Amino acid sequence: MKKYFLLFSLIFLVLSANKSFSQCGDALLNICHGRLENARFIKSWPIQLPERARGETLPQVSFKLPLTSGNTYKIFACDATEYEGKVIISIRNQKDDLVVTSYMVEQNRHIPVIMFPVLMSGIYTFSFYFEDGKEGCAVGVVSIAD
Amino acid sequence: MKYRKTKMEIIKQKHIIMKKQKIILVILSVLLVQVITGCQQGQRQEATDLLSDSFKDNELRLNDAMIREMISSVPNPLEITSVLQKTGVVYSQDLLNPAGNINNYNTNFQRALNLGVYGTDLIYMNIYDRTVATLRYLSNIRELASDLRVEQFFDYNTLNRLSESSKNVDSVLFITNTGFDRMTRYLIDQGRSNIAILISAGTWIESLYIATHAQTTPANKEIINKRIGEQKKVLDNLLLLMNSYDHNSDFNHLIEDLKSLKKQFDNVTITYQYAEPSIKESDGMLVVVDNSRSIVDISDETIKNITREIALLRNRVIE
Amino acid sequence: MSEKILKALMQLFAIIARQDVGLSSRERDFVEGFLKQQLSEIAVSEYLNLFDDYVAHDGKSSEEKDRTEVKLTSVKDSVKTLGIAKKINRTLTQKQKVVVIVRLLELINSDKNFTPQRMAIIDTTAEVFNISRQEYKAISCFVIRDKSEELDIPEILISQSHTTSNINAHFIHTPYLDGKIIILRVQSVDLYFVKYTGKSELFINGLPLKTNRIYNFATGSVIKQPTGKPVFYTDVAAKFISDTAETNIFFKVENVDYTFSNGVKGLENINLFESSGKMVAIMGSSGSGKTTLLNVLSGIENPSNGKVIINNTNLHSEKKKVKEIIGYIPQDDLLIEELTVYENLYYSAMLVFRDQKPSHIADKVDNILTSLGLFQIKDLKVGNLMNKKISGGQRKRLNIGLELIREPSVLFVDEPTSGLSSRDSENVMELLRELTLRGKLIFVVIHQPSSEIFKMFDKVIILDEGGVQIYYGNPVEASIYFKKIDNQINSDVGECPKCGNVNPESIFNIIESQIVDEYGKSTGTRKVQPYEWAKHFESFFKPEAIKKSIPKLPETFVKQGWFRQASIYFRRDLNSKLSNKQYILLNFLEAPVLAFLLAYIIRYINDPESGVYIFRENANIMPYMFICTIVALFTGMIVSAEEIFKDRKILRRESFLNLSRSSYLLSKMSILFMISAIQALLFIWVGNNVLGIKGMYFEYWIIFFSVSALANVIGLNISSAFNSAVTIYIIIPFLIIPQMVLTGAMFSFDRINYNLGGGREKVPLIAEIMPSRWAFEALVVNQFINNDYEKYFFDLRKLESNLNFKNVYYIPELKGYIETYKSKLHAEEQNPISDKDIQLLQNEILKENNSFLAQYHQITFENTELIKPESFNHQTAKEILVYLNKLESFYRENFNKINQQIDRQISEMVNSPEKRNKYQQWYDQHYNSHLATFVKNTYAPLPLIRLGNTLVQKIDPIYLNPTSRHLLDFRTHFLAPNKNLAGRPIPTFYFNLAILWLFSVLAYIALYYDLLKKFLLLFKKREVTIQTSKKQK
């Protein structure tokens, strides 16, 4: 009995840990909201990109956002389940230097959440694209962590 | 006997007159209906005449993408108010734009600006856990948004419900911010960027006002002043946005006021020190260690001037 | 006698007495005796002194006059006489003048001194008084002569114990009378004088009758003798009149049966035959069917068998022809309490004689009042039974008077003497008796009459239980008949000869006598059963053979005079209401006081610290409008609910007159409408002012008035259909509560039961029949659209709203269907779009193609036929998307245009501080933001909903022009700015107002044809048939 219960809860956890959600579009954000936990929402962007066509560059979108020194930001994104693509976040500073990205190339791993305590106020660029240029729908969220 | 008779005659006459009047009234009302339906038609012609006018695009429009980008350079009021709260600045009700002022906002210009102002006030109250007091402000926001025809971005029922308790601050902030976000995006898509710009301007003006007028202690004064100084860049962007609307007299006044504010900001210097960040992983999250720094140089004199200027500007906005 | 006559008489007496030999002592005694008869001691000496003064005027004593002087004086006196006579002519009535002549003749008759001078003077006087020669001769004959032969003129009636040989004079036999009673009739003034020549002790109206004295013999007088029959005025008058009157009414009742609606027998086999000039009594124990018989004979009820025939016309089948000649006086009072005696009669007369001049009618009324003896109290208010102002007898007489004006040929009276003293009863019966003398046929239901009254009847019908006829014939003989059957002693003696009494009670004792057991106690069962009496009677009764040929009914023709009727009703009602001060005060205070309370309570200040009341911020304005309509309904109904009910008895009586029901109803409605109009004015004036609703008084007033007026008519309907006041007041909440619920104010139509029409596009059908809803909508829409502020912007705002709705909600919704289709198609789902959704797309695109704005954007979707399940594909979807995008950009651009236009206009108005203040004030005083929220349905859960296969706009209903599918499609959603009729838009306010009046017209039609009453009767009939079928089982 205990075994089954553990198995069941494991599956449940696995499933719930899955960061893919359905319903591309504005509604996706509401579903994604749960992942904020205690962070204070600042900004979100909808991301919808087609499949990379042969010979074309990787489709991506970028948004600018001012971050203030002294705040720690929690940044994450949610995928819509209907689409294959898994989203990758990358953050650049004013000088366009890469600060951080959510995909660990070496380990072939997506990190779901980025915590960024900012000490240089300025306008940062947030770029989003999908792994392997697959077609994808996602929403990116920036919030201030408590 | 004679007296009674004449009284009766009078009443009889009155009755006959009444009957005649009734007939006349019927005829008149039929005529009236004709006239009124005619009138109505006439008036409608006027309103719909506008439809056939070609849309005179007075504004030299920056393209939408640029506008979007520049608006997004205006920081969310949460940023600065979080700093205030974290550094222990005390809450002050007096800083807020009185809810009753909403009665004075009759034009889109006033409404948009003050939608931003009230938005900032709302966030300020929520940050300080004064959620229950926000109900009137929520209603104001709703009303202004409705007047501007952008009411569809806020789920008021949920907001009102959530605002009944301070425990739901985060949800409230979430809904509010996403609402403003979507609203801004929508306004730009709809070709009403001027409204979007004004809303953003309003939020910024109020944030700056609160930051400059909050009670600081020697402990947090430095940090806050630095944050104030950083607004220099934002103000530049705002002015850029506004300039494309300088044919509009209301905008013009605002631009002038912002320009004189900018003069004070000219005495602020910001320097950037770039350094490579390092990444850590903990608890399944990537934690960035920011080694870059921004250094803000701002004198007390400048702070005083800015405070004065923003107060004038802001009070003109909210009156 | 009045002072005037007395003075005149004294003067004339003096002149006459002075003639020839002058005043004789006998003459003086006569004058004194004459005065003593009329006046008190003091007055007697006063007038006597006056007389003496007049006589001594010349200063000469009678003996000193010589022949020539006598002649001269007589000439002088003649001139004086003429002068006095002329003066008297102006001041006295004709009747009074005749009395003067009679007294003058009596004077000179006192010492039989008929000198030519004296005669000449009286002659002259008579001439000046316009008394005809013949009458003067008759009068002088009466006064001077005593012998029967000398009195053989038609103006004289002699009553004595032996017959005369007179041809012209009339005669009444009075056995045991000593001497003669001589009665003079002066026809021109309808006066009678009596003198007695014998020695018996006679009493006239209780006063002793002196020999050779002339007395006035007035209406209702009785001369009683110690033994023998009294001489009644009516008998005397009858003698004079009976030969001249024509019989023209023949009333026949053949085998009449009557069964009540519950099956019980009311009348059984009634037969009778009567002609004009007779008074018939209907008597019987309680419950024997007297009133039923009266009702059947008068035409109020129809017999189940048999016929009632009047001059060859069947009363019941040809009621209209016969109605005019029938009169009915019920037992209850039909008087209008608030009016005076005079007014009651006057209005009734006006209704009867509606083609005559009011002055003629006034004269008639005065005559009737006099003949009823009510002239003195004519200006007293009638009052009601609780609050009597006039006595019971006077009331009864007035009731009779109301019917008498019409002079119906056949009169039915129900218990005219109940509750009256014996003196009053006699008066009333005398009145009725008099009518028969003028040729009327009168049927009187009477219970326990005195012997005197019993004897006044020509015939009596006695009924027993179950409505069986057990006697029909002469009243005195009735006693003989029953005694005979009962084998009583003295059965041959009808009445006691000396006392002149016949006892009707004894008749009933015989009829109802019960079987007595061995101990002498009554057992409760009757000796003789009703049917046994009836059988007896059948064998006894021999119907009279009809001698004369029966003439046709006299044609009655009265001009309709509708307006006049209506105005009479109107004035009567108005006077009645105006004289009831309490009523007026309450009615007209009610409205403003209520309004003040209401408005004052709900006038609140949103921001208590400012202390300033701002109209714009008052959230109670919409509820105020709701309460206005409900108050209007309520007051309208209360005012009218009892109206017809109160009048019902009067209406019953007036049903015999061919009066038009519509004139009665419309005049009633006019008064009620006047009251409603005033109440509306007061209410609105107070309420609107307190709440700061500016302008539009007329619109508020007319809606309030229209609702009130409709409620008036509905109230009249209830009043006319129900039997008791209590029922009426119970019905009222049932009429008002549904209207409150379905006005659309307390409960939104979107949130009521779907099965009853809630949550649809248009107003639920049940709410369409609620007048309150139409009124409320009219007020709300009017207040929002036409207030001084909004009317500047309304058209622009409407357009702006339409464009915004399309842009923000409508097109995105439609696009959503396409997007869903696309994504499902992409995901390769089986059924990417349902047939219903396709149908919806087609419907909506068709609507868009034909919409009002289409003429401006001219973007049409060409192939709407392709939007069908069979032909819908990816290509179709693409085309639709293109179309929708085009529409969207049109709507977006133009929305911006209009929005900016409005903004520009407002900016213009606020670009300086003074302008801004003005604007703010203007805005605050005329615009109400809560009302705006209501009419824009800002709190709608969804701005757009799907109903079946169409999309329905829920937000901004006030800005949404309704579409109509065909010419007669006038139903719209709630709070539409216009309604469509025959393709043309009509502002909601006027349309709704018209609907309210349409309701009123329909209600009036229902009222006129008494539809509610008939509807209720249907239920009663059903009940009865169910009951009888149950019984049969």
Q: What is the pLDDT of residues C539-598, one digit of tens each?
A: 777 666 665 566 666 665 565 677 778 888 888 888 888 888 888 888 889 899 999 999
Among B157-161, B250-254, C216-220, C534-538, the range scoring the smallest mean pLDDT is: C216-220
pLDDT in tens, C1016-1031: 878 777 766 676 666 6
Nearest neighbour of B177 by CB, restricted to A41, A68, A100: A41
Question: pLDDT class for A76, splitting at 50, 70, 90?
Answer: very high
Closest chain A residue to the Cα of B180, Cα to Cα: A43
Q: Which among B106, B151, B155, B183 is the top mutation candidate for probing chain C, defined by the most C β-carbons within 10 Å of its own β-carbon?
A: B106
Contacts of B44 (CB under 8 A, 6+ apart): C795
B45 pLDDT higher than 60: no
Residue B235 near residue B258, CB atoms below 8 Å: yes
- What is the distance in angstroms between the Cα of A15 and the nearest Cα belonging to chain B? 17
- What is the distance in angstroms between the Cα of C805 and the nearest Cα belonging to chain A? 20
Residue range(s) defining the domain that contains residue C200: 135-244
Nearest neighbour of C796 by CB, restricted to B1, B47, B55: B47
Residue B228 near residue B79, CB atoms below 8 Å: no
Beta carbons of B76 and A70 less than 8 Å apart: no
- What is the distance in angstroms between the Cα of B194 and the nearest Cα belonging to chain C? 11
Helix (H) / strand (E) element for A124: namely strand A122-130
Structure tokens at C1019: 């239920």
Domain annotation covers residue C944 = no
> Chain A residues with CB-CB distance to B under 8 A?
26, 29, 33, 36, 38-44, 63-71, 93-95, 97, 99-100, 102, 111-123, 144
Closest chain A residue to the Cα of C823, Cα to Cα: A82
Beta carbons of B190 and C910 less than 8 Å apart: no
Contacts of C384 (CB under 8 A, 6+ apart): C337
- What is the distance in angstroms between the Cα of B214 and the nearest Cα belonging to chain A? 18
Mean pLDDT of chain C: 83
- What is the distance in angstroms between the Cα of B71 and the nearest Cα belonging to chain C? 20
Question: pLDDT class for A18, splitting at 50, 70, 90?
Answer: very low
A78 pLDDT higher than 70: yes
- What is the distance in angstroms between the Cα of C827 and the nearest Cα belonging to chain A? 8
Structural domain ending residue among the three candidates C904, C920, C946: C904
Among B27-41, C95-109, C110-124, C815-829, the range scoring the smallest mean pLDDT is: B27-41
Could you give all domains of chain A from N- to C-terminal order, each with its CATH number? Answer: 19-144 (2.60.120.380)
Query: What does the alpha-carbon distance between residue C621 and residue C608 come to, in Å, rounded to a whole number?
Result: 18
Structure tokens at C253: 């009742």
Residue whose entry in the numeric block shows the structure tokens 């009679």: C102
Are residue C147 and residue C236 in the same domain, yes or no?
yes
pLDDT in tens, B190-214: 889 999 999 999 999 999 999 999 8
CATH number of the domain within which C155 lies: 2.60.200
Residue C416 near residue C448, CB atoms below 8 Å: no
- What is the distance in angstroms between the Cα of B60 and the nearest Cα belonging to chain A? 23
Domain annotation covers residue C961 = no
Query: What does the alpha-carbon distance between residue C740 and residue C756 come to, in Å, rounded to a whole number?
Result: 16
Percent with pLDDT over 70 in chain C: 91
**Beta strands at C441-445 and C410-414: parallel, antiparallel or unpaired:** parallel
Are residue C828 and residue C882 in the same domain, yes or no?
yes
A26 touches chain C (CB under 8 A): no
Residue B4 is predicted with a pLDDT of 47
Domain annotation covers residue C385 = no
Residue C675 near residue C966, CB atoms below 8 Å: no
Nearest neighbour of C901 by CB, restricted to B1, B50, B190: B50
C490 pLDDT higher than 60: no
Are residue C100 and residue C153 in the same domain, yes or no?
no
Furthest C-alpha separation in chain C: 155
Q: Which among B285, B289, B295, B298 is the top mutation candidate for probing chain A, defined by the most A β-carbons within 10 Å of its own β-carbon?
A: B285
Query: What does the alpha-carbon distance between residue B295 and residue B5 come to, in Å, rounded to a whole number?
Result: 106
Are residue C112 and residue C197 in the same domain, yes or no?
no
**Beta strands at C459-464 and C468-473: parallel, antiparallel or unpaired:** antiparallel
Chains adjacent to B (≥3 CB pairs closer than 8 angstroms): A, C
Beta bridge pairs of residue C160: C173
Residue B260 is predicted with a pLDDT of 92
Beta carbons of B152 and C809 less than 8 Å apart: yes
Closest chain B residue to the Cα of C941, Cα to Cα: B157
Number of domains in chain C: 5
- What is the distance in angstroms between the Cα of C922 and the nearest Cα belonging to chain B? 12
Structure tokens at C771: 């007048």
Domain annotation covers residue C361 = no
pLDDT in tens, A104-142: 888 888 888 999 999 998 889 999 999 888 888 899 999
Q: Which among A42, A75, A102 is the top mutation candidate for probing chain B, defined by the most B β-carbons within 10 Å of its own β-carbon?
A: A42
Structural domain ending residue among the three candidates C849, C873, C904: C904
Give A 83-142 residues with CB within 8 A of chain C: none
Residues of B with Cβ-Cβ distance to A40 under 8 angstroms: 78, 82, 170, 173-174
Dihedral class, residue C421 (left if φ above 0, else alpha if ψ from -120 to 50, else beta): beta
Residue A6 is predicted with a pLDDT of 57
Question: pLDDT class for C241, splitting at 50, 70, 90?
Answer: low
CB atoms within 10 A of CB B126: 24
Are residue C884 and residue C872 in the same domain, yes or no?
yes
Helix (H) / strand (E) element for B287: namely strand B285-289
The highest-confidence range among C187-196, C717-726, C795-804, by mean pLDDT, is: C795-804
Residue C544 is predicted with a pLDDT of 62
Among B168-177, C484-493, C752-761, the range scoring the smallest mean pLDDT is: C484-493
Domain annotation covers residue C311 = yes
- What is the distance in angstroms between the Cα of B275 and the nearest Cα belonging to chain A? 10
Inter-chain CB pairs, B–C, below 8 Å:
102
Percent with pLDDT over 90 in chain C: 20
C372 pLDDT higher than 90: no
Residue whose entry in the numeric block shows the structure tokens 């409760």: C524
Query: What does the alpha-carbon distance between residue C673 and residue C574 come to, in Å, rounded to a whole number?
Result: 12
Nearest neighbour of B107 by CB, restricted to C809, C910, C985: C910
Beta carbons of A71 and B170 less than 8 Å apart: no
Closest chain C residue to the Cα of B193, Cα to Cα: C896
Beta carbons of B286 and A114 less than 8 Å apart: yes
Are residue C521 and residue C604 in the same domain, yes or no?
no
B49 touches chain C (CB under 8 A): no
Are residue C286 and residue C181 in the same domain, yes or no?
no
Among C20-24, C352-356, C503-507, C813-817, the range scoring the smallest mean pLDDT is: C20-24
Are residue C749 and residue C603 in the same domain, yes or no?
yes
Q: Which among B286, B289, B295 is the top mutation candidate for probing chain A, defined by the most A β-carbons within 10 Å of its own β-carbon?
A: B286
Residue C374 near residue C398, CB atoms below 8 Å: yes
Domain annotation covers residue C386 = no
Nearest neighbour of A68 by CB, restricted to B79, B178, B285: B79
Question: pLDDT class for C67, splitting at 50, 70, 90?
Answer: low
Instruction: Write phi, then psi, for C91 (nearest 5 degrees).
Output: -100, -25
Q: b/e map of C187-219 (b: 16 or more CB within 10 Å)?
A: eeeebbbbbbbbebebebeeeebeeeebbebeb
CATH number of the domain within which C528 lies: 3.40.50.300
Question: pLDDT class for C801, splitting at 50, 70, 90?
Answer: very high
Structural domain ending residue among the three candidates C116, C131, C146: C131
Query: What does the alpha-carbon distance between residue B254 and residue A23 come to, in Å, rounded to a whole number?
Result: 42
> Does C66 or C239 have the greater pLDDT score?
C239
Inter-chain CB pairs, A–C, below 8 Å:
3
Residue B21 is predicted with a pLDDT of 61
Q: Which among B108, B151, B185 is the top mutation candidate for probing chain C, defined by the most C β-carbons within 10 Å of its own β-carbon?
A: B108
C314 pLDDT higher than 50: yes
Instruction: Write phi, then psi, for B63 (nearest 5 degrees).
Output: -70, 155
C110 pLDDT higher than 60: yes
Structure tokens at B200: 């953003």
Nearest neighbour of A120 by CB, restricted to B69, B76, B293: B293
Beta carbons of B104 and C920 less than 8 Å apart: yes
Residue A90 is predicted with a pLDDT of 92
Dihedral class, residue C466 (left if φ above 0, else alpha if ψ from -120 to 50, else beta): left
Nearest neighbour of B43 by CB, restricted to C358, C795, C906: C795
Query: What does the alpha-carbon distance between residue B21 and residue B27 come to, in Å, rounded to a whole number?
Result: 10
Amino acid at B49: D
DSSP state, C190?
Answer: T
- What is the distance in angstroms between the Cα of A145 and the nearest Cα belonging to chain C? 34
Angle at which helices C358-372 and C392-404 pack, to 10 degrees?
A: 140
Contacts of C552 (CB under 8 A, 6+ apart): C311, C312
C275 touches chain B (CB under 8 A): no
Query: What does the alpha-carbon distance between residue B196 and residue C141 come to, in Å, rounded to a whole number?
Result: 124
Query: What does the alpha-carbon distance between residue C249 and residue C441 come to, in Å, rounded to a whole number?
Result: 8
Are residue C656 and residue C737 in the same domain, yes or no?
yes
C938 touches chain B (CB under 8 A): yes
Are residue C541 and residue C662 in the same domain, yes or no?
no
C823 touches chain A (CB under 8 A): yes
Residue C239 is predicted with a pLDDT of 74
Are residue C203 and residue C124 in the same domain, yes or no?
no
Are residue C609 and residue C721 in the same domain, yes or no?
yes
Q: Residue B16 to residues B2, C564, C849: CA-CA distances in angstroms?
A: 21, 10, 55
Helix (H, G, I), strand (E, B) or coil at C572: helix
* Range C316-326 average pLDDT: 79
Residues of C with Cβ-Cβ distance to B18 under 8 angstroms: 670, 674
The highest-confidence range among B48-52, C138-142, C232-236, C641-645, by mean pLDDT, is: C138-142
- Among C634, C555, C624, C565, smallest CA distance to C595 is for C624
Among C211-225, C341-355, C928-942, the range scoring the smallest mean pLDDT is: C211-225
Residue C61 is predicted with a pLDDT of 47
Beta carbons of B69 and A66 less than 8 Å apart: no
Domain annotation covers residue C147 = yes
Domain annotation covers residue C1001 = no
